[in-house]
Each structure stands twice: as structure tokens, then as C-alpha cells.
Amino acid sequence: MKEILLIGGGGHCKSVIDIIEAEKKFRIVGIVEKYKGESSEVLGYPLIATDDDLEMLRKKYDYALITVGQIHSNNIRVKLYNRLKELDFQLPTIISPFAYVSRYAEVGEGTVVMHHALINANAKVGKNSIINSKALIEHDVIVENHVHISTNATINGGVVVKEHSFVGSGVVTKEYIEVSGFVKAGSLVR
């Protein structure tokens, strides 16, 4: 099994650990945090280093995944993504075995597709994104890079979700529109 580092030890990290364990493609080496004392062990996985140690860690490990969540801003996720790419880490796509991703869909590097999410035919999801539990990405949708589609959101056919957007829990979009910025939970976007 390939070894992987998880960058960020908060709540989102716990959900991603669950998916990586279920997927059985990677063995988690440990958690990397911003500062010592920022977090402790996460679901039995130790805090092994800080962000300052990434260059040293790259000498030993090829794979890393950003496990910092995104609510108000994705600045930290984007900064970490750029740093990991600069160090030539490989950022795999992680897809829950309990999700459905059409064989005609594309999902970019460093993106996590959570439990019971559905990505339909001809949908394209960019890099470093989160498709959260029970999200529905319908046919012909384009989700650009660094986006978070929250739990139980429905992105209907032909929608374009612009880069750096956050789509809150339970959001429903009309088909064939453009969505950008911060969309609060429970919204109907027309």
C-alpha cells in the first residue's frame, strides 16, 4: 500500500481518514499540522510534523492530501495545494467506495469525494475540491478548482461552479446557470 501524509488535523481530516481506510489504497503515515500543539492524535493517527517540515517529509514520502476543510475561505487549502505542488508531492483523488462517480465523469487531483456523493455523466470536478457527503453533481456540471460542495447540495445539470466557491449544505441550483462565491446553506439558486 502507498503511504500518504494528511495535511491538517481537524474535523474534515476525520471524515477523510474514514474514506481512505474504506478505500484501502493508501496507508496513512500521520498528520501534518501548522504548529506543534495545534492538534493531537486524530482517530489513532499521530501528529508527526508541522507545515515547516514539508520539504524534509518530501524526501521520504510521495503522496500527500490536504485535509483542512473549507467554510468561510479556501485560502489555507489553496496555499497548501500550491506548496505541495511546488515540492512535487502527488495529490491523489480520493473517492469513497460508497460514492458513485460515473465512468464518464472527471475528478481532479487532490479532490475528495465523500460517502454517498453522486457525480453523474460528463461532469467535471476540478483540483483540490471537496464533494461532501450526499452531494449530487448532475450531468454536464463543471466544478472548477478549489471548490467545496457541502453536504446534501444538489447541483443540477449544466451548472458551472466557479473556482474558489463554497456551496452550503442543502443548496439546490437551477440547471444551466453559473454559481460563484459563498452560497449559504439551504439556498435555492436560480
Question: For the chain, what is the total number of helices (H) and then of strands (E)?
Answer: 3, 21
Residues 109, 125 contacting (CB under 8 angstroms): no
* Buried residues in 144-157 as b, exposed as e (16+ CB within 10 A): bbbbbbbbbbbbbb
Q: What confidence score (pLDDT) does residue 37 get?
A: 65
Q: What is the pLDDT of residue 39?
A: 63
Say how far residue 20 (Cα) sits from the centre of its chain.
12
Q: Tell me the per-residue pLDDT of 84-136, one tens digit each, with 9 for 90 and over.
A: 999 999 999 999 999 999 999 999 999 999 999 999 999 999 999 999 999 99
Beta bridge partners of 10: none
- Ordered structural domains, the chain, with CATH: 2-86 (3.40.50.20), 94-185 (2.160.10.10)
Q: If the chain, 190 residues long, is cut into consecutive pieces of 10 residues, what is the mean pLDDT of each piece?
A: 96 96 97 77 94 96 96 90 98 98 98 98 98 98 98 98 97 98 96
* pLDDT, position 38: 58
